[in-house]
Chains A and B, each alone.
Chain A
Amino acid sequence: MFSFTKKQETFDISGIKIGGQPGMNPTVLFGGLFFKGEPDFRFAEKNLQNMYNLSKKTGNPAIPDFFIKKEEYIEEIISFIEKNIPKNYPFSVDIIEPSLKIQTLEILGKKNLLSRTIYNSIHVGITDEERKTLKKYTPEMAIIVAFNPKDKSPDGKIEVLENGAHLTDMGLLDIAKSVGIKKILVDTAAMAPGDNSGAAISAIPVIKEEYGLPTGCAIHNVVEKSKWLNFFENARKTVDASSNINIPLFGGDFAIFGPVENAELVFPIIAWQDILISEYTENYFGIAPSNSHPRRKLS
């Protein structure tokens, strides 16, 4: 375990703290909803409640990550958020299609939800229209996906943050700042097995030491893309959930852990890992865990 020499930022969104030195704040866990497209709201409601209960038990903050894949789902998913997410809780919107991102931002802005919104995500595919909309409807926090198609190593991830790898007119960090986003999280862009998948983990301490920004990834994506795991189907869920321990182990701050129904396994595993890390970092570096840390829940 280690401590960073660079000052580490801790950002707050609706009372949830993300970032800091290892052992300070609990790992924030993003659980995905509606990844397959069509929303199943009854299923979502049940799983959401379960995730919040696990969060309360363990001390690891839970953030629902809403996939929006079609225009007709935007209004109903935002209505679901208004109805089912407690008023002081944050959420993230996870959208690929630029036109859907723009429409969603406009609606979130009109419904005064931007102060609770984590925008997932800014990457090399950002359009001019999206930038204009982000300036007008600026979310409280955004995730930058440090995917560099030219270089998938930690260095390549730094490059795309710094200068956009010459695919964008400026680096992704500057793009986020230029549209007014003050609270930036860095997602180290997990790749498929055999395609530098380990770089998403090894990039975490590199990026935190370079920028001091809260950093994490969706290591679940690596597991999901593994064909090798087809030989061990019974172990898939365990491997999937336990892969997330790499994130806090390497100093990371958040895990986008896949479908919300995986929360049952992921929360205790990560809480346990956070406890182990905290016990070491407090003894060795003097980093006291925050009041809500899983270690405080030990009795």
Chain B
Amino acid sequence: MKDKIKTSVIGSYPTTINNIDIIYNYYNNKETKWDKYIENAVNDMTNAGIDLISDGQTRDPFIQIFTRKLKGCRIRNRTEIINKIEYDKPITIEDQKYVKKIIPENKELIGVLTGPFTLSKSCVDLYYHDEKKLAFDFAYALRQEAEILQHHVNMISIDEPFFSNQIPEYAKELIQIITKDLSCPTRLHACGDVSKIVEQLVEIPVDILSHEFKLSPQIFDAFKEYSFPQKICLGSVRSDDTRVEPVEEILKHVNKAINVFDGKICQIAPDCGLRMLPHDVAFQKLKNLVKAGEKING
């Protein structure tokens, strides 16, 4: 029997924070709870019918979620590195535990980590003055998060958007620090046009490679050149465009991918995180993705 192609998200989801509520809490000496924002994102994914759900990354942009809680970082307009990067305390674990409690049993959970290379490229380095050392220390810190995370999620996805611009020669080693011997499956998400770096990507020690196939269809041709062990998470709706792709269009795209990759497609997802899209557009895109998935799986 053919394996089911699961519908997934990449990570972020649109959210509207009630700042008035936050300020009333401040004046009334109450802690602002983030649960409702996480719950809204999770409910949307669940109601759309997505199989692999994230926490929506509603707390912060994907860099600050991590740098806010790692030692050695100081948040300014961009994060500044002012000391050695070290793991201090769990970063995403409590949110994942909360999501696990509120999703139906038949849904799976993705733990999303922003990758060490992307973190190093996104910060202002006032301490290391050595991009590689900084990236490796981020990787060691993320490894500690991953070791806890693996017990609470069904898959860990590492988000490395900077790879499409510049993949370092140590990329494999870097990601391996995080993924080695983890008990749950792992996914590398690198958005952008990765057609020039497929040779390096297929060396990365993860179970699934996830890319923006919808925005950058040239990636199909680039992958044809290689045989590789990983499965594919197929970007199937755009995350940078408010046009909602009709189900038929998604089906055509997925069928093309199935022909190219011959059984390697294990997930279909948006091209990237949906944070920047209007809420109703993001939800409709997920719904159409699920409808397409249902037709593909029969």
Contact = CB atoms under 8 A, between A and B. Distances in A.
Interface of A: 96, 98, 123-127, 147, 149-151, 155-156, 158-159, 162-163, 166-168, 171, 189, 192, 195, 225
Counting contact residues on chain B (CB < 8 A from A), the size range is 20 to 34
Interface string B57-101: 001110010001000001111000000000000000000000000
A125 B23 contact: yes
A129 to B, nearest CB: 12
A98 B17 CA distance: 16
A73 B61 CA distance: 41
A187 to B, nearest CB: 12
Contacts of A162: 76-77
A164 to B, nearest CB: 9
Contacts of A155: 74-76
Contacts of B32: 149
Contacts of A171: 77
Given A155-B75, A163-B77, A166-B64, A127 B20 contact: yes
Contacts of B170: none
A158 B76 contact: yes
A125 B32 CA distance: 13
Given A96-B24, A147-B26, A150-B59, A156 B75 contact: yes
Contacts of B20: 98, 125, 127
Given A151-B75, A155-B74, A167-B17, A124 B22 contact: yes
A225 B29 contact: yes
Nearest to A192: B29
Contacts of A167: 17, 19, 22
Given A98-B20, A166-B61, 4 more contacts: A147-B26, A155-B74, A155-B76, A162-B76
A225 B68 CA distance: 27
A53 B74 CA distance: 45
Given A150-B60, A155-B75, A162-B76, A168 B19 contact: yes
A123 B76 contact: no
Contacts of A189: 26
A201 to B, nearest CB: 17
Nearest to A168: B19
Contacts of B74: 155
A151 B32 CA distance: 12
A225 B31 CA distance: 14
Residue picked from A98, A124, A126, A156, most chain B C-beta under 10 Å: A124
Nearest to B22: A149
A111 B186 CA distance: 65
23 contacts: A96-B27, A123-B23, A123-B26, A124-B19, A124-B22, A124-B23, A125-B20, A125-B23, A125-B24, A147-B23, A150-B60, A151-B75, A155-B75, A156-B75, A159-B75, A162-B77, A163-B77, A166-B60, A166-B64, A168-B19, A171-B77, A189-B26, A225-B29
A35 to B, nearest CB: 11
Contacts of B24: 96, 125
Contacts of A127: 20
The 8 closest A-B pairs by CB, nearest first: A125-B23, A149-B32, A159-B75, A125-B19, A125-B20, A124-B19, A162-B77, A147-B26
A168 B31 CA distance: 19
Contacts of A147: 23, 26
Interface string B87-129: 0000000000000000000000000000000000000000000
A189 to B, nearest CB: 7
Nearest to B21: A125
A149 B26 contact: yes
Given A156-B75, A159-B76, A125 B68 contact: no
Contact of B23 (A96, A163, A192): A96
B11 to A, nearest CB: 16
A168 B18 CA distance: 11
A241 to B, nearest CB: 21
Contacts of B77: 162-163, 171
